[in-house]
Each structure stands twice: as C-alpha cells, then as structure tokens.
Amino acid sequence: MRADDGFVCPCGEPLLTPLQALMEPTLIRAREGTLTHAEALELTSGRLAQRLLPATGELAYAARLSQALYQQGVSWAIFSAEWLDALADLLRARGRTRVLEVAAGSGVLAQPMRRRGLTWRTTDAAPPHMLNIPIEQRPEACDALAALAKHGDEIDVVVWSWWVGGHAGDAALAAECARRSLPAIFVGEPEGGRTGSAALWQGFTVVPLSGPSDVAPLGPTDVPNWLGMHDRTWGLGVL
C-alpha cells in the first residue's frame, strides 16, 4: 500500500527516457530480489541518475528521477538482497514459513521470497497492472482484513510495507493478528512518520527488528531508504 511521502513524480522530464535504459539492469535485479544494498544506495542517493544530468545537476533531483522510474517499474518500497536474505533466514529459523503479505502492491516480494524457501502469498485491495509481472504472479485482489479472514488458518505470519499514513486499517489488522496469535512484520517509518497510523503505535507494542546483531532478530540489516525517508523493519507479537 502506498504511503503519502510527499513524493511528486517528475512526469514529462525528458531525461526519464535515457535514464530508463540506464536503470533497466538495476530494475531487473530489484524485481529478481538480487539488488545489493550497495546498488540500492547508488540508486536512492541519485548517484546513478546523476550521470545523465549536466555537471551542475542536483543529486536530490537525480534521486527523484530514479525513484519515479523504480516505482513505476518495480514497487513503491525498495528492498535489498541482504534484507531479503536476513528476513527469510529469520522466518525459517522461527518456523514461520507460511507468509501472508497484505497491501502488497505489485507483489514484488513474492518470487524472491519463494526462491528463499518461503510459502509467500500476496494480496492487495487494488493490485496495479504492471506489464512486467505475469498475470499468474499478480497479487490476489483482496483487502487486508478480508485476506486475513480468508487465509488466516493457513499462515504463520503477516507482512506489509509502507501502509498509508494516517489510515488506521493497520491497527485493525494488528488487532486481528493478535486475536489469532499471529505475529506481524511491517516496513515503515517510526512513530510520527509518514507511514502507518497513530492508532497502531498507541495501541500495540511495536519493536524494531534490526539493530545490534546480538539482540536484534535481523541483526544490523534493514531496508534501504528513499531520499527523506526513515524506514525500518518492525515486529508485532512474538515471532
């Protein structure tokens, strides 16, 4: 589900066409789940796109161009291979291998996580029709609570990322997960940020899953960030 992060697509910018060609190998690796954290930082910082700008081109604008093309061709959120590996390792180690991803957008996580040994089901209230995703791989059209009601007896954990800011549906989802004794993992900004609702943070115990390797389930690994974002991976309930 897309969060309101204040991002404005630079649509009509003539550099988008040559940048698309430059970025295509990166976008393919992102869809395959093999984009490294270093490559992601090259993308999100704008350093990749800056090659096409005049010498005085601003790095921040280059980052916005990159973000526009990435979100058109891959997903709203950005993930690295290291984060995918760490999350898959954690879920396998905890015996949480049957995953329901809600508000999954284009469902870009499904294939990479299935290749990492997880049963990963994706759903979204209104899945985008992206040409590079085969019909059989697109998320099931289903809102989050309905998806949990439908598949809740067949899963071990619920996942979502970039929940719309101020939309309390995440709190309702967390409550239903708690009722079913299902843990949840989500990616978004800290309390008061541009993703998720105040009701989630005020009504539930939310813990960061990344941090010092001796205490954090994911260790030091977490998701890359677009310019101005402060995303982290969070947990609800007992993994």
4 - beta bridge partners? none
What pLDDT is stored for residue 235 in this prediction?
98
Residue 136: count other Cβ atoms within 10 Å of its Cβ: 5
Task: Specify the 3-state DSSP secondary structure of 62.
Answer: helix
What pLDDT is stored for residue 213 in this prediction?
76
DSSP per position, 75-139: -SS---HHHHHHHHHHHHHTT--EEEE-S-TT-TTHHHHHHTT-EEEEEESS----TTS-GGGSP
What pLDDT is stored for residue 1 in this prediction?
43
The yes or no reply on domain 81-236 and CATH 3.40.50.150 is yes
What pLDDT is stored for residue 6 in this prediction?
53
Q: Please give the Cα distance from 101 to 7 (Å, whole number).
A: 24
What pLDDT is stored for residue 137 in this prediction?
75
- Provide the whole-model pTM: 0.90
Q: Please give the Cα distance from 203 to 168 (Å, whole number).
A: 11
Question: Per the structure block, which two tokens stand in for 143?
Answer: 């809102």
What pLDDT is stored for residue 13 in this prediction?
65
Q: How far is CA 233 from CA 1, 53, 219, in A?
A: 15, 33, 11
pLDDT in tens, the chain (239 residues): 444 455 555 555 677 788 888 899 999 999 999 999 999 999 999 988 887 776 556 888 889 889 988 988 888 889 999 999 999 999 999 999 999 999 999 899 999 999 999 999 999 999 887 656 666 678 999 999 999 999 999 999 999 999 999 999 999 999 999 999 999 999 999 999 999 999 999 999 999 999 987 789 999 999 999 989 999 999 999 88
Specify the domain boundaries for CATH 3.40.50.150 within the chain.
81-236
Question: Per the structure block, which two tokens stand in for 227?
Answer: 């310019």
What pLDDT is stored for residue 7 in this prediction?
52
Q: Please give the Cα distance from 208 to 122 (Å, whole number).
A: 23
